[in-house]
Amino acid sequence: MLHRLSSPGAIGRHKALISLGSATLLALLWLYWFVLRDLPPAADVVEFQPAASGQLLARDGELLFRLFEEEDRLPVTLASLPRHLIDAVLAIEDQDFYSHWGFSPAGMARALRNNFTGSRSLEGGSTITQQLVKNRVLGSEKTIPRKLKELILAMGVERLASKDEILEMYLNQVAFGGVAYGVEAAARSYFDKPASALTLNESAFLAGLLRAPSTYSPFVGTQTAHLGRKRVVLQRMLDEGWISQHLHDQARDEPLVFSPTRTAIRAPHFALYVRQLLIDRYGENRVHTEGLRVRTSLDWPLQQEVQRQVTGTVNRLFRYWVGNGAALVTRPLTGEILSMVGSADFYDKEAEGEVNIALALRQPGSSIKPLTYAMSLQGGKTPVTLLSDTPIELEIPEEGNYAPRNIDYEFRGDVTLRQALAASRNIPAVNELVLIGVRNYIEKAQTLGIDTWQDQNDFRFALTLGSGEVRMLDMMHMYSTFPNLGYAVAPDPILSIEDRYGNVIYERECVTAADGCVEDQDFDPGVAFLVNDILSDNEARSATFGPGSDLEVGNHSVAVKTGTTDELRDNWTIGYTSDRLVAVWIGNNDNSPMRFIHSGTLGASTIWNAIMQHLLESQLPHRFPIPEDIVSEEVCLPAGTLGCATCAETRYEYFVRGSAPDTRCQ
């Protein structure tokens, strides 16, 4: 035995066995150390959740804006995609997908052959499962250990997930160029449509991008390379028998029409405003990566009409030194923001169009006066209470005297409260604020949403004439008190929010309730109605604005108030019906004055009238509902007593029950 082992042949074989065993051991050690030691489990690939873009939607589901940081990805289900899109991807990326176990020896051999023989397209040989593994957990490092990890994990993924699940994950993960990841984001980026609506022609183009988006994108690479690549995809589909010759020829010659704005944002001021609200509520990471689906209150067709009116009117008023305009439309009972136009042109950088005037601080002028008179009415005055419209001079400590003037520089003696508010007389409003008290006035305004008057010592009696800066959005909050008959409702643009799985994580249920979103009562219903009635009194306002002004809206009863600041720096019109509230502003971002703008006939009122006409089109004549605590009495003017046979002028006036006069004229 010893003799045999010590023979040269036996020793050689023994050394070979030892060498083979050592090589095997080294290979196993290498495999463990470089491949298996830090190999993630296949479940990590299947369970991995890539960042998903959030979506801001109009109330009807129209996509307004996608929320993402670096990767725009909108997950979709495989069942929602057209068959020709799926076939196009399989034809060019993995023809054997439904028959292999995660990797395809035939595909790898075919890729090697085509690459070395100079075939018409560069190919990688990785299956869709391998690409999914690479994109989700391994990265794109080109080494032998990484490739082995990819093969092992691909086979593991095939055991854990079905083919359809793997394909769906891939189509939601893969890059299509730029920030577009996943087929849904790509469809919207290149063609401004959902992936479910892609044609065969468009599907072949997108499938062709997958191998090298920077090469085949019409916006980055050679601008005609994508056409040849599309034809390769179509030929593959034809070779596999997945499309007919007729469909192939038709799609091959059909031109591609790309979306003119690949990063489209609809209603930009509104969309960016809502995005910030979401970030404040949920944090930036969740908003941009967790695929929140946010349905807003925006009425997209109305938004387009309001933008058209603002932009068109501002352009026409250019010769009056008007550089910008803004508008808001809400539903006062719920606070739903139906339209937000923050400037005449968001994309006009020279005019600072990206600044959202609906959120900016501006002086409101006389548009703040309804708050003053509502407090006076709440305090016991009536529409026929006589107020003084005569010169006054108020002494303000350490500041000197304050002598307010009316806009027409005239004085009318005693006027009724109705006349003072409807005709926007300044001196009666200042007198009322003196009686109310500036501190009380500010505190009431704060309960109604105006939170910009923080330091009460900064304000004096001109506050009732609009000297304190406000935001248009806060004015909508305050004004909602009147059509809501005493209840203020804050504007809120969000109806519901779903997570990426379709679970509702927030829903504003009050928008469908009969009483809306009202909570605390700020004024008696009768007081709010009296403000509505006075602000919709065309006859009473004609003393200042004349008959037939833009403040009249056909045969509808519409309440409206204007406001113009010193030197025509701001011009406002805010008006409402029972269920729609519209605010409009025109001016200049740099606070420079306009010229020859006249409230009621030229300026914000022109835009306001057009919007209100649009809202009331084809509707029955609007009238404000009369609360139970309102009574009507015939009164003698100007005394404000009950009417009598010898009275020269009488009219029927509304009163809160218990406040009507109890004596007759003499």
Q: What is the pLDDT of residues 578-603, one digit of tens each?
A: 999 999 999 999 999 999 888 878 89
Q: Does residue 219 surpass a pLDDT of 50?
A: yes
> How far apart, in Å, are the Cα atoms of 342 and each of 189, 279, 318, 471?
25, 20, 18, 12
pLDDT for 29 equals: 59
The half-sphere exposure of 229 on its side-chain side, counting CA atoms within 13 A, is 30
Q: Which residues of 386-424 are buried (b: 16+ CB within 10 A; e: fewer)?
A: bbbbeebeeeeeeeeeeebebeeeeebeebbbbbbbbbb
Q: Cβ distance 358 to 348 under 8 Å?
A: no
Q: Does residue 496 surpass a pLDDT of 90?
A: yes
Phi then psi dihedrals of residue 132, to 5 deg: -60, -45
* 285 membership: H or E segment, kind and range: helix 284-289
Average pLDDT (70-77) is 84
When the pLDDT of each residue in the chain is averaged and rounded to a whole number, the result is 86
The set of residues, in sequence order, having a beta carbon less than 8 Å from that of 523 and lying 6+ positions away, is: 374, 378, 481, 486
- Strand runs labelled E in 445-593: 470-471, 494-498, 504-507, 559-564, 570-576, 581-587
Q: Does residue 119 surpass a pLDDT of 80?
A: no
The set of residues, in sequence order, having a beta carbon less than 8 Å from that of 659 and lying 6+ positions away, is: 380, 382
When mean pLDDT is compared across 152-161, 269-278, 288-297, 588-597, the lowest value belongs to 152-161
- 327: nearest Cα among 303, 346, 347: 303
Residue 598 DSSP class: B
3-state secondary structure of 595: coil
The token pair that represents 30 in the structure block: 């290498």
What is the distance between the alpha carbons of residues 399 and 245, in angstroms, rounded to a whole number?
Answer: 88
The set of residues, in sequence order, having a beta carbon less than 8 Å from that of 271 and lying 6+ positions away, is: 56, 64, 65, 265
pLDDT for 3 equals: 46
Phi then psi dihedrals of residue 643, to 5 deg: -65, 160
pLDDT for 121 equals: 44
Q: Does residue 30 surpass a pLDDT of 60?
A: no
- 630: nearest Cα among 527, 521, 520: 527
For residue 6, what pLDDT band results from cuts at 50, 70 and 90?
low
When mean pLDDT is compared across 10-24, 46-60, 284-298, 485-499, the lowest value belongs to 10-24
Residue 622 DSSP class: P
pLDDT for 1 equals: 42
Q: Does residue 387 surpass a pLDDT of 80?
A: yes
Strand partners, 651: 635
Helix, strand, coil percentages for the chain (3-state, nearest 5): 45, 15, 40
Residue with tokens 């401004």: 192
Residue 392 DSSP class: -
CA dihedral 371, 377, 382, 386 (to 10 degrees): -60
What is the distance between the alpha carbons of residues 413 and 541, in angstroms, rounded to a whole number?
Answer: 17
> How far apart, in Å, are the Cα atoms of 532 and each of 6, 123, 427, 653?
117, 72, 21, 13
For residue 32, what pLDDT band results from cuts at 50, 70 and 90?
very low
Average pLDDT (319-326) is 95
Average pLDDT (503-531) is 95
For residue 576, give the amino acid letter: Y
What is the distance between the alpha carbons of residues 579 and 336, in angstroms, rounded to a whole number?
Answer: 11
What is the distance between the alpha carbons of residues 509 and 515, in angstroms, rounded to a whole number?
Answer: 11
For residue 262, what pLDDT band results from cuts at 50, 70 and 90?
very low
The token pair that represents 567 in the structure block: 């030197």
3-state secondary structure of 319: helix
Q: Cβ distance 252 to 245 under 8 Å?
A: no
pLDDT for 43 equals: 56
The set of residues, in sequence order, having a beta carbon less than 8 Å from that of 653 and lying 6+ positions away, is: 382, 383, 384, 418, 632, 633, 634, 635
When mean pLDDT is compared across 333-337, 455-459, 553-557, the lowest value belongs to 455-459
Q: Cβ distance 97 to 163 under 8 Å?
A: yes
pLDDT for 104 equals: 67
